[in-house]
Amino acid sequence: MAKSKMIKLKEGLDKISAWGKGTFYFESISLRHILDMVETQFNTKIECQPVGLGDQLYTGYFINTHLDSALMSICWPLRIKYEHLDKHVVISR
């Protein structure tokens, strides 16, 4: 097997192993899809304002141990912010 293919295979296996430990990796996935996963993981509702913000693509990761840590990991690289309001979270510019 070529060295570059072995490196890609190892990276893929590392991500699968990390997923089993609660780390989720994404490459060019819509923000809305990521936030849907966060909603499920943390049993909360997340709203994007404006709605089209959810179409932005995200590449990165979050760890599913704390909601605020996950939101910071997602929002900071995209230069967007989040705010807790009542029983839900609002993501905005």
Domain of residue 64, CATH code: 3.55.50.30
**Is 11 inside any structural domain?**
no
Domain count, the chain: 1
Q: What is the span of the domain harbouring residue 46?
A: 22-92
Alpha helix positions (H), the chain: 3-20, 31-42, 67-78
Q: Please, which pLDDT band fits residue 74 given cuts at 50, 70 and 90?
A: very high
Residue 15: exposure state from Cβ atoms within 10 A (0-12, 13-18, ≥19): middle
For 22-44, what is each residue's pLDDT tens digit?
688 888 999 999 999 899 989 99
Whether the Cβ atoms of residue 14 and residue 56 lie closer than 8 Å to each other: no
Residue 79 lies in a domain: yes
Residue 63 within any structural domain of the chain: yes
Domain presence at residue 40? yes
